[in-house]
Structures are given as C-alpha cells and as structure tokens.
Structure 1
Amino acid sequence: MNEELELRYLSRLAELYPSIAKASTEIINLQSILNLPKGTEHFITDLHGEYEAFSHVLKNGSGAVKKKIDDVFGHTLGIAEKKGLATLIYYPREKIDLIRKKEKHMDDWYRITLYRLIEVCKRVASKYTRSKVRKALPGEFAYVIEELITEKSEVLDKEAYYDSIVDTIISIGRAEEFIIALSELIQRLVIDHLHVLGDIYDRGPAPDNIMDKLMTYHSLDIQWGNHDVVWMGAAAGQQACIATVLRNSARYGNLDILEEGYGINLLPLATFAMEAYKDDPCERFDIKGSHSFTTAETAMNMKMHKAIAMIQFKLEGQLIAKRKSFHMEDRRLLDKIDYEKGTINWYGKTYQLLDCAFPTIDFQNPYRLTEEEQGVMERLETAFLQCEKLQRHMMLLLNKGNIYKVYNNNLLYHGCMPMDKHGNFKKANIYGKTYSGKALYDVLEKYVRKAFFAIDRVEKEKGKDMLWYIWIHPDSPLFGKDKMATFERYFLAEPETHAEKKNAYYRLQNDEKAMNKVLKEFGLGEDAIIVNGHVPVLHKTGESPVKCGGKVLVIDGGFSKAYQKKTGIAGYTLIYNSYGMLLVAHEPFCTTEEAIARETDIHSDQIMVKMSPRRMLVGDTDTGAALKERIDELRQLLEAYRSGLIIEK
C-alpha cells in the first residue's frame, strides 16, 4: 500500500516536472537556494495602536536599512549624507517634496540619488534569488530595475550602459517615481519576514492603520495577544468582549477608533449614558493620556466610560454564572456590594466604595441589564458583526495568526506558559476537560477558530465565550495573572486590592530547567530560544529583556506611550539575520513630520544576544528543511524516470 501511495505521489509530482531535464533543473535551483544567506527576520510586539512608531520601525527595519547604507558606502559618505539617504528610503515621496523646494539643480540630485539607491538595492537583493527579487519588483519599473541591479557580463562598457538608462529616466521625467520605487523595494527586501507577537490593539490611537499596513506586508505571522483576542471576541459578537473593547477605548480617549476607524455608531451608547448618568459627574471614570477634548466632550466621554463599564461588569457576571467550568465566581463582584452602606465584601474584607452612584443596578438582581442597556448592546453587537473592515482585519488575524508558533528553532508566543510555583505546567479546565502545556495552547486555538467558523451553534457559542476566557482568565497563557482588577481600580482606594499577581512563569523565566521544559514541550531542544512580549520590561530600573542566559527574550519594552514612563524606553524589537540575533532598544519616536524634516531617526541601542559561529544559510532554516525534502522527492522522481517506473512526457 505504501509503494502504491508513493507511486501515486510521484505521478502527481511528474505533472509539475514532466521530464528528467525539468526535474534536474529544479533540483539545481533548489540546491542553489539552500546556499544563499538566511533572510532577515524582524520581531515586534505590543504595538498597542502606536501606528507612527510602528510604521517608522517597519520602514527602517530596526536599523537594518542604516546598516546596509553603512555596508555599501563605508567612509565614502559623511554622516549627514547617510542620514539623508536613510530618510529618503523611509519616506521617499515626502522627502522629495521638501528637497524640490530648496534644491536648484534637481537633475544632478536625481542622478546622484539614483546611483546611490541602485547600489543599496544591489546589496539588499544579493542574498535572494533573481526569481524572488523579480517577484518583489514594482510592476511599472520591474524591467528597468532588474537591468540596473543585475551584473551584465556581456556588456563591454557597463558604465556607459548604466549611464544611458539613468539619463533616460531623468530626461523623460520619471526620476521621482523611480526613486520612490527603489526606496520601497529596499524597504521590502531588507526584511524577509515579520513576526508580530501580539497586542496590536488598545491604548494607542490607530490599531486599524496598523492592521491595514499588515494586510499589505509581504511575509508575516502573528501570535495573538490578549488585547487582540478581546477584539476578535467583539468581532464575533461576544457581548462581554464588545463592552470590554468599548471600555478600553473610552478609558484611553480612543472611541474615535470605533467611530471613524471602523464606522461603528456609538450614538446609542452616548444617548443612553447622557440620560442614565446625567446627574453623575463620573469622576472615577476619567480619561487617561493627553487629549484635546473640550469640557463637554470630556464630560460625555466619562459618562460613556462609566456606562459601558457597568454594562461590562453585568455581562461578565452573567457569563461567569453561565460557564461554571470557568471557576471565576470570585470575580462576580456586583452581588458583594451593600448598596445602602456603599461598601463591598471583597474576599472576606469590607471596603468603602469610592463611587456609590448605581442608577442602572437592580439591587436584587445586579447582573440584569436594564431594557435600555440591552438595546444598546444589541445594536452594538449588530454593528460589530456587520463591520466589513473589522471583519477583514479579524480574518488577517485568523489567517496569519496563531496562539503560538515554532519558527527557525525559536518558540514565539505573546504571554506565558501557565505554571505552578514548582515549575509544573498548570492544569486548566476547558469545558469539563483538563489541559496543560502545549495541549492547552492547541485547544484554546481550536476554540478561537470555532468562534468564527463553527457550523454547530453550541460550539460556536463556546468559541465566542472562550475568547473572553483567553482575555481574562488566570489560566490563560495570554493573560498570566490571578485576576484583572478592573473593578477594583475604579471603585476601591486600597492599593492591595489593585494588585494582580503574575503567574509563576514570570519568576521562573530565569530558571533554566523550567524553560528547557517549556521548549521540550513544543518539540525544541535546549539550544532554542523563547521570544515573548506581554509584560513590559522595566529598562530604566535595570531590568534586562534577556532572561535565562539568553534562552528567553522578552521584547515588550513599551511601544505604547502609556507604558513609557514606567519602562524608560519605547519598545524592543529583535532582528535575526544570517549573523545572529540582535536585540534593539528604541527611544521614543517624535513624529513622522519631524523624522522627515530634520532627518531624525529613532535612536536605538543594539545588543548581540546570539552570534552564529558561521553565517547561516537558507539550508539551516525551516524553509531549507522543506526545500531539502522537496529535493529528495525530486531525486526519487528522477530515479523513477530512469528506471522506467514513470514515463517522461
């Protein structure tokens, strides 16, 4: 039977390579690819809606573009000229507009700039096959760019040949568009693959723009963060997730993401909030960050903030009661309040509430939505489900995303591996069955996909509710704390009530035995590396992102402006090229306008965390392993042709 299946497979392969010559050519092609340098991987995490900083880091490849400029020009260009060239590559169209206003001899500038860009382009293209470069070329200029960056041994006077091409580009008025095309090609080729380790959403002002950018990126994968998952839950119509997304947006003054970015009508919520809380200043529900709201706008936002927060607490209480297997009864807090005294029995202790105005609470049934609240949530659910742009973004998360990924001997996930204090994998109850370790990750991902794709209504509902579980549950690998103290931060003054105890994983990140156990669970050896984000590294207090002697890299350094006072920097990124792994710590990004006008780049400190003993090749990667397998299959096909088992066409 195995021989029959093998013959059937080889026959299918013969349809692609119908002769000895074609199969042999493909073997030669694949073998040559194996010996090219490994492509550069770019790791980035916890973007939290900070589109401008994300876009800039993407354009500069965390310093990779500058490195290529240095490699090409060395000491033949000054620092100012290199900065100018780098800025042009990042923002070609905008930079040309500025230069045109002050440069008197544009043709000379075009000529010099084109030659410099061609040299950089040659360097970044040198580690790829011509076929791969050809696929990356912009259609309009593909042929000409290929001519300029490909060495042509048959041309006797190469200088005159290239001069004539450049002169023609300038004379026919296409220099600016050609410069833009070359700059974007350099950006495209300098990074071979992008890893986004979660938390694209919440806090910052433009996660929708980040998602739009990722939708056009040439090669990427995404590991979901807890903030992404709660948006996925909202997009699937899970009402507790919808309320959470709105509350987070209100808290950071970013409701316009929903209204302007996704076209979701918030008027029903605003109308309800202004009526229900008209006599309530909602002082505990102020807006974080700096905003240019008027007094009236601030007052309205605070009322909307409180209105949706109370709806969230009710919906979460309903969900916890519905899903007994979640074992979260301790987080149903509305029924622990003495509404007459304004106190709460919080884990056996009595505390005074900071806000005692509860106009929408039925004291006898505190988790019941009022008729008005129910109407608001029904309209919001419909709006989220019918938002085409949001659904398109969620499909990107589903198509390119996973809860974890093993890639080139690295284990990538957003949060943690839930563990107990002894380093054993913590067991979690998922709808009556117990899971831990990799199996927990796998079953959670299965339910995420059920929320969107299940036909069975019961299974679909389980998937939707599981998205909320992943967002907030102590056993969720994307959360990793004993609780989310949202209610406490609004209503209780005592700091001990705000504390969120981290999972033991975070203490064990420097324990080699525990981390080796995690790697082994995912089929990796002790030489592999765990890369994760989620918990900001406090750089300014001396905390290092490099844990366990380099076995664990935590690359959340505070892309979100909300974290930067605490972390002291504006995010870590990681570069993994053919020479090794480079950790990059970024200072805060100014603005795109300043980056273009003053040629200010994000200042970045680089730390080599892993140096390869020799330059890594494609043959050393997962892609290389797949190519070697293909080569073996093609060799079997050759043997079948030569033995007469399969006949050439």
Structure 2
Amino acid sequence: MRNINQKYFDILAKEYPTIQSICREIIHLKAILNLPKGTEHYISDLHGEYDAFKHLMNNCSGVIKEKTIFLFHNEMSYQEINDFCYLIYYPQKELKKSHEKIWYQQQILRIIRLSRYVTSKYTRTRVRRHIESEYADIIDELLHAQLDELDQQYVYHLQIIDSIIELGEQDDFIDILTKLIKYFAIDQLHILGDIYDRGKAPDKIIDALIKYQRVDIQWGNHDILWMGACIGQSACIITVVKNCIHYHNTDLLEKGYGIPLRQLMIAAMQKYAADKQALAMEKYCLDLQIKLERKLINKYPHLHMDYRLKYNHEELLSEEEIKILFDLKRSFMNSSRLKKHIQFLYQKGSLYLRTNHNLLLHGCIPLDENGQFYEHTCFGKKVKGKTYFDFVNEHIKKAFLYKDLESVDYLWYLWCGDKSPICGRRIVLDHKETETKDYYYHYIYQKEICEKILYEFHLYDEECMIINGHTPVRVKDGESPLQEHKKQVVIDGGFCIQNQKKTGVAGYTLISNSHGMRLKTHHIHEGAYTDCDTEYDSQIIYTRAHQELVKNTKNGEHIQEQIDDLKQLLKLRK
C-alpha cells in the first residue's frame, strides 16, 4: 500500500505532468521569493461599524492617497488629488456625474500609472490572474509597457483609451482598474478580534471579508460569544440577545439572521410591565443570564468564576423561560446566514497568530502577581503560556467539529473569564463594580516581560512585537498605543463609535511593508464616510536597513516548501 508521501507526489505529478512544467513552476516561485514583501494591514475591534470599515478598505487606510501624492504631487493640486482619490474610492458615485472626453482620457491615464505603481511588487502572472474581465489583455498591456511620450507605443495606448471612450465602456474600464488598485494596495489583512457587538452591521463586515479572503482573524471575546451562540451554548445565546437589545441592534438578529424575538418580548413586557419595551427585554435577558451562569459556575468549579455573581439568585428556570431558550437555541443553530458567517470566523480565525516577526492576539497572556505565566486548570490539565493558547485552540475546534459539551461551555468562560486569554478582566454580572484586569496589563510596560512572552512564542528577532486589541487606548487622557520599549502596540482605538468618547480617536491601522512598520491614527470623522476622506496621523515604528523580501516572511516559508517538493518531484521524474 502506498504511503501518504507517495500519494501526495502522485497528486503533484498530475498538476505538473512534464519536466518543463515542473521547472517553469520552480522558476516562477523562486522569482516570487525575491519580490518585496506585500503590504500588511492590522486593525482591531471593528465592533460592527461597517461604514468605517468599508471606507477604510476603499482608501486602504490612506495608503492610496499617499501613493497618489508621491506620483502626482508635481502635476496636480491638493484638490485635484482629493478628487482623484475619491474616484478611486467610490467610482460608481463619481461616474454618475457628466464628464467630458478629455476628463476621461486624463483620469484613465492617471489610474493606469497608479495601477502600475501599486502592482509593481507583484508578478505579472498574479496581476493578470486577478483581472476577471474581457479587458484583461488590454489592461495587462497598458500596465506593463514602459511609455515614452515620443514613442509610437504611447500613441498606440492613447488610441486604445480613445476607443474605449468612443465605445462608451469608459465607466466599466475605470471601475475595473480602481478595484485592481484597492486589491493590490493591501496584500494581507489581519483583524485582531471583536467584529461583533455594539455597531449595527457586523454581518456586512463578514460578508465583505468573505469576498476579500486575504484575511486572518484573531478571535476576540465578542466573536467567541457569537461562536458559542451559533453552536447552541445557552448563556452565550442570551448574552448575545441582551447585547443586541442594549445597543439597539435587534434588526441584526431578526432581519439579518432570521432570529425572532417576539416571544421573549411578550414575556418581558408581562414581567416588567412598567418599563419600556427595550429595558424590559434587557432585564428579562439578564434574569435568564444570571440563572444560566449560576448553573455553569456550579458545574465547573475549577474555573473559579464565583466572583461573577455577588448575590444569591433563584437558579431554576421556569417552564416559560425554558421554552423561550429552546426556541432561541433552535433559531440560532438553524440560521443559515449565521452558520455561514461563524464558519468563516472559525476557518479564518485562531486564538493567536505568529507571523512575520509579530505575535498577534486580541486580549492577553494571563500572568500571575509576579509576572510569571499563570497556570490555568482546564479539561483536567494544568497549562500556561503558549501551551495554554494551543490547548484552548484545540478545544475551540472540538466545540465546532464534535459539539463536545464541555468544550462548548468553555466558550462561555472564554467570553467573560478573568483568566481567559481573550477577556482577562474580572467583571461582576449582578453588581456594578470597577473591573479588575489581569496582571498582563500591569506588566506589559516592562520590556523584559514582553520579550519573555515573545520568546515563549519562539519570536526572537529585534523587531518582534506583540500586537494587541481589546483594550481601548485613551489617547485623550495621554495614553499611547505604542509602549516606549516598542515591543508591544495596542490598536484598539475607537472604530466603535461608543468608544470614541473614551479614546478621542477613531481607531488605528498598523501598516507593515517591505521597508518597515508604521502606525496610522484615524481622526474622528463627522458625517457620512463618503462625504470626504478620513484624516490620519502617521508614526514610524521602525525602518528596515534592508528591504524585506517575500522569502523572509511566513508566506515565503510556504513557497520554499513548494519549491522543495517540486525539486523532489523533478528527481523522481529524472
């Protein structure tokens, strides 16, 4: 019987049937290794703010404007640059206006120049593969020709553009090119958790990410809460419902995911008749949440969650409450759109990511009072540091793949536990108290603690950093997202409108490219995001002495593995 290795090479041989096809792919992959590393963007805590997210993706956190200024600062006024960038961000809006032929000629020529600049660090094959249009050949030629205004090639290209305009295809052509620019301006998007809750449209964000694909997600506690609800964890379900009511987002459940709340509303209005509907429903949900959490606290004493409820409460659910919870559970588990979104979170997500010199996580690495890794008891084992994270990742997968009851219930702990790596805060449910944070948040100011954490995750280079979300940075109170020692940066800055009062800013984008890393601070934006461009402040974190190439990245490691496999296949063929 053939082993797995033999079967793998049989499959590879079908994909590359000749020696020439193998050699061609090796040459192609080696060329990719020596290209500059693509641009990575890191964002966090979107909390359902779809309009802000959409605008960020359209302007690529200001990168498109920067590249436009670099190319055209001697040719265009500041207003012309703004107008041109708006055309890139929202072509359908701008192209509704009436424009002369000369305007189209000028804009298409400029868009081609910008497209050529943005795609210059990618192979011609990859760029061509992305252009899903009958105009692929024409665009390929326009992008990869080096033009001289005195050359016949320039005249030839002008003729192509004139023909496009005469045939009335200029709007579609511009739309294709602007999508190309936005696609290649960001090579990889990292989201450090909390897509859900507070804002009205996390579902639209995930729809956009599903189309985008080049994304990884480090789960936040709000994401885990929805993941738990989707697979039927009752405490997670009622907490999701309560949060949606609190933030006036019941349309997300009822219209977005087809989860009816009518029976809960009727029961709440009967119990709390003196209150307005939303408040009555929120109170009713809190009653259910307390009962469900009390049961979990008693069931899993090793999680030490007694602090969560200060007072004694009636533990038994009434028949009516059981019926309401049963119906909600069935609705959550049967929502096809919710399943699709949570499955995407599961496929693209993890508790942490170690990539390209950085450790990405939402919350914290639990520490004890001495700054040592906290030893946590879960599923009968004592674990800490990286082992704790890997162990929890394994049980999140068990929850989804096998619906293991203890693993499913553990998602509730991850949502709100004080030693949960994605919460790390002690919050009392039934009494208003100041929350207590994990020791991680006290020790992270020390360079040696950050280095100890990075070493624990096998990150040893000088530029290695911890990149965090979860905790809003109160810039208006003098806090900084970047620690002085530059070993940790927190990029939860206020995408969520409710948090902007705390932070004084509208979020952050951390940008890493082949030349280094910088942090962009988004200014608070008044009015619709399509009215004008977002303003940013930019801070350089470090600049590389030598340009980083694909071969120095995690993706480069995967490509090198492919090359090694193809070389082995070549030996077998020869």
Shared fold, TM over 0.5 = yes
CA distance in 2, matches of 1:141, 1:499: 60
In structure 2, the residue matched to 1:464 is 408
| Alignment of 1:602 onto 2:546 | no
Distance 1:386 1:18 in 2: 45
Q: Does 1:538 align with 2:441?
A: no
User: Which of 490, 502, 514 is residue 566 of structure 1 equivalent to?
Assistant: 502
Q: Residue deviations 1:131-161, cap 9 Å, x none?
A: 1112221334322221221217999611121
1:405-435 CA distance string (max 9 Å, x none)? 1111111000010001212110111122211
Q: Which letter maps to 1:119?
A: R
Q: Deviations over 1:191-229 (max 9, x none)?
A: 000000000011111111111111111411000000000
Whether the 8 Å CA contact 1:519–1:526 is kept in 2: the answer is: no
Q: Distance in 2 between matches of 1:450 and 1:588?
A: 41
2:140 counterpart of 1:146: yes
For residues 183 and 71 of structure 1, the distance between their equivalents in structure 2, rounded to whole angstroms, comes to 18
Amino acid at match of 1:530: I
Q: CA deviation at 1:514?
A: 1.2
Per the alignment, in what secondary structure is the counterpart of residue 486 of structure 1? coil
Q: 1:42: how far off?
A: 0.6
Q: Give the distance between the partners of 1:138 and 1:485, measured in 2 at CA.
A: 53
Partner of 2:116: 122
Aligned-residue offset at 1:579: 1.0
In structure 1, the partner of 2:489 is 553
Q: Partner of 1:612 in structure 2? A: 544
Return the alpha-carbon distance in structure 2 between the equivalents of residues 242 and 6 of structure 1: 44
Do the aligned partners of residues 6 and 243 (structure 1) sit closer, same or farther apart at CA in structure 2, a change above 3 Å counting? closer
Tell me what 2:47 maps to: 48
Query: Percent same amino acid among aligned pairs?
Result: 41
User: Between Structure 1 and Structure 2, how many residues are aligned?
Assistant: 572
Structure 2 CA distance for aligned equivalents of residues 63 and 604 of structure 1: 7
Deviation string 1:19-50 (CA, Å, 9 cap, x unpaired) is 44333322322221122111000101000111
- Equivalent residues of 1:269, 1:304 under 8 A apart: yes
CA contact (8 A) 1:203 1:560 kept: yes
Is 1:397 the equivalent of 2:355? no
Q: How far apart, in 1, do the equivalents of 2:7 and 2:400 lie? A: 36
CA distance in 1, matches of 2:4, 2:350: 32
Q: Which whole-Å CA distance do the structure 2 matches of 1:242 and 1:558 have between them?
A: 26
Separation in structure 2 between the aligned mates of residue 422 and residue 111 of structure 1, nearest angstrom: 66
AA aligned to 1:473 is G
Q: SS of the residue aligned with 2:437? A: coil
Secondary structure at the counterpart of residue 158 of structure 1: helix
2:200 aligns with 205
Q: Distance in 2 between matches of 1:189 and 1:141?
A: 18
1:502 to 424, 432, 437: 437
What letter matches 1:487 in structure 2? D
Find the counterpart in structure 1 of residue 264 from structure 2.
Answer: 269
Deviation at 1:13, TM superposition (A): 4.7
* Partner SS state of residue 431, structure 2: helix
Distance 1:6 1:185 in 2: 39
Name the residue aligned to 1:292: none
1:591 Cα deviation from its structure 2 partner: 3.9
The one of 512, 518, 537 aligned to 1:576: 512
Of stretches 40-49 and 513-522 in structure 1, the one that deviates more from structure 2 is: 513-522
User: Residue 324 in 1 paired to residue 259 in 2?
Assistant: no
Q: TM-score, normalised by structure 1?
A: 0.84
Q: Displacement, 1:17?
A: 3.8
Aligned match of 1:484: 427
Q: Look up the equivalent residue of 1:85 and give its one-letter code.
A: F
* 120-129 or 177-186, which deviates more: 177-186
Contact 2:468 2:491 in 1 (8 A): yes
Alignment correspondent of 1:134:
128
Aligned partners of 2:508 and 2:521 also within 8 Å: yes
SS at match of 1:510: coil
Task: Give ranges in structure 1 of 5+ residues lacking alignment.
Answer: 282-298, 337-365, 490-497, 641-645
Give yes or no for contact 2:55–2:530 (8 Å, CA) kept in 1. no
**Equivalent residue number for residue 152 of structure 2:** 157
Max Rg structure: 1
Corresponding position of 2:381: 433
**Distance in 1 between the 2:448 and 2:564 partners?**
37
* Aligned match of 2:558: 626
C-alpha separation between the residues in 2 aligned to 1:523 and 1:647?
Answer: 38
Residue identity matched to 2:144: T
Structure 1 residues 339-372: Cα deviation after superposition (integer angstroms, max 9, x where no partner): xxxxxxxxxxxxxxxxxxxxxxxxxxx0111222
Distance in 2 between residues matched to 1:70 and 1:319, nearest whole Å: 57
Q: Which residue of 2 aligns with 1:367?
A: 315
1:574-603 Cα shifts (integer Å, max 9, x gaps): 0101111010110123344xx444xx2111
Tell me, yes or no, if the aligned pair for 2:309 and 2:428 is still in contact at 8 Å.
no
Structure 2 counterpart of 1:587, from 502, 523, 528: 523
| 8 Å CA contact 1:262, 1:387 repeated in 2 | yes
1:589, 1:54 → 2: CA distance?
13
Alignment match of 1:523 (pick from 458, 461, 470) = 458
Amino acid at match of 1:475: K
Mapped partners of 1:150, 1:178: distance in 2: 17
Q: For residues 596 and 537 of structure 1, do their structure 2 counterparts lie closer, same or farther at Cα, with a shift above 3 Å needed? A: closer
The one-letter amino acid paired with 2:455 is: K
Report what 1:285 is aligned to.
Answer: none
Q: Quick one: structure 1 residues 234 and 12, their matched pair in 2 at CA, closer, same or farther if it must change by over 3 Å?
A: closer
State which of 257, 260, 264 in structure 1 corresponds to 2:255.
Answer: 260
Moved more, 327-336 or 34-43: 327-336
Question: 1:406 maps to what in 2?
Answer: 354
2:246 paired with 1:251: yes
Q: Is the 8 A contact 2:350 2:393 kept in 1?
A: yes
Q: 2:327 aligns to what SS in structure 1?
A: helix
